[in-house]
Chains A and B, each alone.
Chain A
Amino acid sequence: MSKLDSKIPPGPIDKKWTYHKGHIRIVAPANKRRIDIIVVGTGLAGGAAAASLAEMGYNVKAFCFQDSARRAHSIAAQGGINAAKNYQNDGDSTYRLFYDTVKGGDYRAREANVYRLAEVSANIIDQCVAQGVPFARDYGGLLDNRSFGGVQVSRTFYARGQTGQQLLLGAYSALMRQVGKGTVQMYDRHEMLDVVVVDGKARGIIARNLLTGEIERHGAHAVLLCTGGYGNVFFLSTNAMGSNVTAAWKAHKRGAYFGNPCYTQIHPTCIPVSGTHQSKLTLMSESLRNDGRIWVPAKLEDAKAIRDGKKKGSDIPEADRDYYLERRYPAFGNLVPRDVASRAAKERCDAGFGVNKTGEAVYLDFSAAIERYGKLEANVKKIENPSKEKITELGRAVVSEKYGNLFDMYENIVGENPYDHAMKIYPAVHYTMGGLWVDYNLQTTVPGLFALGEANFSDHGANRLGASALMQGLADGYFVIPYTVGDYLADDIRTGPIDTKRPEFAAAEKEVKDRINHFINNKGTKPVDDFHRALGKVMWDKCGMARNEQGLKQAIQEIRAIREDFWKNVRVPGKADGFNQELEKAGRVADFLELGELMCMDALNRNESCGGHFREEYQEMDGPQKGEAKRDDDNYAYVAAWEWLGEAGKAELHKEPLVFDEVKLTQRSYK
């Protein structure tokens, strides 16, 4: 049954990658020129991979649906990127980063991949510095660090609140350098709509030129999907409006198994929903939890008064505030991992302590940090007996220097000054740990089809730690795929160019065109967003922060009904042969409507709680860990890899057992 060979190299964990690099096949420089590689997506993983592979001598075609490669959604990552540099002399090491990541992922990640990630993390920083990425530096001119959740060291490198932007622009500049040289052909405003499989191997893609509507065939010896995550299945998320699952889902339908689809990261600190018009949610970086303290009123009557507008947060005296993360998790406090922080917020709000109109918000308060920094600054500036106002002024300046752009962003959206009033935040969908199943070489179950970055499932288990997505995207793109793709392509040095006139290309193209024509000709009445919103609500209510058997079963029925309604009643205006944004959306939502069901099936199958997957039936009922997630390592220490069986809702489960040689499986405790 199982085609799942993870191809983990032999040897001790710290020698595996070195051993593998020394033993896999490579392609000689002269032969690289004979090989074409398609890279779909130009975020950190795709941009880095496309640039690196072109530098090595391969012919690369890069695709993105945005109008420029520089706009991929990696650009929006705020907080930072982890690397085991141990510049702070605080006991960090490759092993510690590896350990923290496996533990943070609630012991559902593949050890060998995570170790490699930690191993190459330091190279990433060096590479980015060499490209001219302006990381934050201290007065000595050296790189600065901060702390993120789930760890007890400072290993996060950053560029104010715009680290993703700076890293992506670094990768983009490397990519554009190759575009200028003609080694990368760039296809922007192109959306991949199918993978073409010939004789069991991925040999190209079908893409739509979004400007002209033309359906194009592109052949290559290998296809790399670097297409990000699928958080937009929830309609509201911190993802960009265009972020979608289409490329990965088409690959799934062509034979690539989908790994752990139910593992979704709900980020604890986002700006709460303000109304039905809401199109997306905005993250407030985890870095804010370095200095912000999260609380709700300790008394129900205070929470009610705040909701009714009769009291403000600042009216609640210190003694009547419940800093619930500090109370429940004294060892990590406000810097517990994201899944833990999100559930704790939901628990307080469900119990009636929410602090905005909808009852779904908690405070993220900087007043203590402003005072602390203000006093420090007064010392530095030798101001004796500074007034309260002076301390606040000095403290605000420090907070502004660190987080200014985030505070401005908050004020723009909410219309309230977060220096004067504590921020109101609530969890929101942010990242998906699940994705296409890949082996150690990042190859999916379709030979020649690879998945990198958020699009694969491999490194974060059931919960990703903050500042690790950027690390993984760049690790996969700069330092993993350039080696591992060669092992596959070594067989292709004599293949010659891929002929796109083959019947497999024609058949895939016809399927794509038929579907587009269906949308255009459908005599429906409702816009695409109606269905997307309905799907999002089902997913959030029943497959979100907390899940249970009954809800998931209901969700599957509801999603099927929405899907049926969608195909009958969706209205897509305009034409197929031109710029048509509603048509683009329709195709993406059609895929979300199938993926959503698989996510529920996966959540239903996993009768345990781990990381971002919290099944209400499986939690500690008493003792010091009461209310915490309860894993079942005897029965669920595996990767769930789902095989498409020809129609939505039909999928076969394959299991990749997770073997832990290095890290001892224990209950994750942050107390």
Chain B
Amino acid sequence: MGNMKLNLKIWRQNGPNDKGKMVDYPVKDVSEDMSFLEMLDVLNDDLVRKGDDPIAFDHDCREGICGSCSLFINGEAHGPARGITTCQLHMRRFKDGDTIYVEPWRSAAFPVIKDLATNRGAFDRIQAAGGFVSVNTSGNLVDGNAVPIPKDDADKAFDAATCIGCGACVATCPNGSAMLFTAAKVSQLSLLPQGKPESKRRALAMVEQMDKEGFGNCSNTGACEVECPKGISLEHIARLHRDYLAATVTKE
């Protein structure tokens, strides 16, 4: 066990229709080797022992790749460090005696389920609208090397494809826009010869769904890029704009 003492202020909300409030939780014996979520585990363990309701939060892989974990920590998505998710944030980033505010993603399109857990189903629906290449499973496709892909394009597509769908971009955006998330998928597929043929259709369909879900508009503040745990670049939004523009101009 460690020896840090912290004053946590955590958002508690019993359900989607509950009003919710910040509640104080002083914690002690926090070790700097703990992850932020392990610190919350220790707090929850204590709450259960006392017969209280533990704090609900989404998490799963705890290695920064599944995109389940979220949390606004001291006003920043995934906390103060850059390029990592909350589950990768370790307590050595904090000092003994710190006060830490912990809140859920706040966005109209991500309603709170309970406490810190939110519903991000809108992302799945955007993906279902067009985030794919229309190819069926087949044992008879062309060889994977039949179409060479310039390394630079493959690398850029990969960078876009590293999006984990956590929603930090939406939570950070003053307009609650899902542009970075949507653009990352559009851009990935648009950069690859396999995804190119339907790039216009894809851009239109995904943007339309995004608007339907109640996400705000993009006004190029760039906050999403800063808070994205995977460093997804704004350049992808530019590529989405190009595909979208081309699609609207040529739409019949």
Contacts and interface: CB of A to CB of B under 8 A. Distances in A.
Contacts of B113: 211, 579
Chain B contact residues: over half helix, strand or loop, or mixed? loop
Contacts of B139: 120, 123, 479
B131 interface: yes
A202 B143 CA distance: 38
A162 B163 CA distance: 11
A283 B61 CA distance: 11
Interface string A131-142: 111111111111
B176 interface: no
B56 interface: yes
Interface string B30-61: 01111101110110010111011110101111
Given A68-B124, A130-B194, A160-B158, A141 B150 contact: yes
Contacts of A525: 49
Contacts of B64: 409
Interface residues of A, number: 84
Contact of A241 (B33, B62, B192): B62
B195 A166 contact: no
A326 interface: no
Contact of B129 (A55, A138, A180): A180
A20 B164 CA distance: 40
B48 A132 contact: no
Nearest to A52: B137
B62 A415 contact: no
B68 A66 contact: yes
Contacts of B104: none
B237 interface: no
B54 A573 contact: yes
Given A66-B60, A141-B149, A162-B65, A279 B38 contact: yes
B90 A413 contact: yes
Contacts of B66: 66, 71, 73, 75-76, 240
B117 interface: yes
Given A130-B194, A172-B127, A177-B134, A582 B65 contact: no
B53 A127 contact: no
B90 A67 contact: no
B88 interface: yes
Contacts of B63: 76, 280, 282-283, 409
B161 interface: yes
A177 B1 CA distance: 48
Contacts of A125: 144
A132 B195 contact: yes
B141 A277 contact: no
A127 B137 CA distance: 7
Contacts of B251: none
Contacts, number: 228
Nearest to B160: A134
Interface in A62-89: 66-71, 73, 75-76, 85, 87
A166 B154 CA distance: 12
B83 interface: yes
Interface in A211-231: 211
Contact of B132 (A69, A141, A174): A174
B60 A241 contact: yes
Given A130-B194, A169-B161, A211-B113, A279 B37 contact: yes
A139 B45 CA distance: 52
A589 interface: no
Interface string B125-154: 001111111111111011111001111001
B61 A240 contact: yes
Interface in B88-132: 88-90, 92, 113-114, 117, 119-121, 123-124, 127-132
Contacts of A581: 54, 56
B137 A51 contact: yes
A186 interface: yes
Contacts of B34: 275, 277
Contacts of B131: 173, 176
B62 A129 contact: no
B162 interface: yes
B172 interface: no
Interface string B9-41: 000000100000000000000011111011101
Contacts of B92: 415
B165 A70 contact: yes
A330 B42 CA distance: 46
A70 B67 contact: yes
Nearest to B33: A274
A166 B163 CA distance: 10
A166 B150 contact: no
B53 to A, nearest CB: 6
A578 B83 CA distance: 34
Nearest to A530: B45
A242 interface: yes
Contact of B48 (A159, A176, A573, A579): A573
Given A51-B137, A180-B129, A413-B88, A280 B62 contact: yes
B45 A527 contact: yes
Residue among A71, A76, A274, A582 having the largest count of chain B Cβ atoms under 10 Å: A71
Interface in A110-153: 120, 123, 125-143
A488 interface: no
A164 B164 CA distance: 12
A426 B161 CA distance: 31
B144 A478 contact: no
A48 B83 CA distance: 30
B35 A132 contact: no
A408 B83 contact: yes
A87 B1 CA distance: 52
A315 to B, nearest CB: 24
Contacts of A408: 83-84
A481 B52 CA distance: 46
23 contacts: A66-B66, A69-B124, A71-B67, A73-B61, A76-B61, A87-B145, A130-B138, A136-B154, A137-B149, A137-B155, A142-B148, A162-B65, A176-B128, A275-B1, A275-B31, A275-B33, A275-B34, A277-B1, A408-B83, A413-B35, A415-B92, A573-B48, A574-B53
7 closest A-B pairs by CB: A141-B148, A180-B128, A173-B132, A134-B158, A52-B137, A129-B144, A134-B157
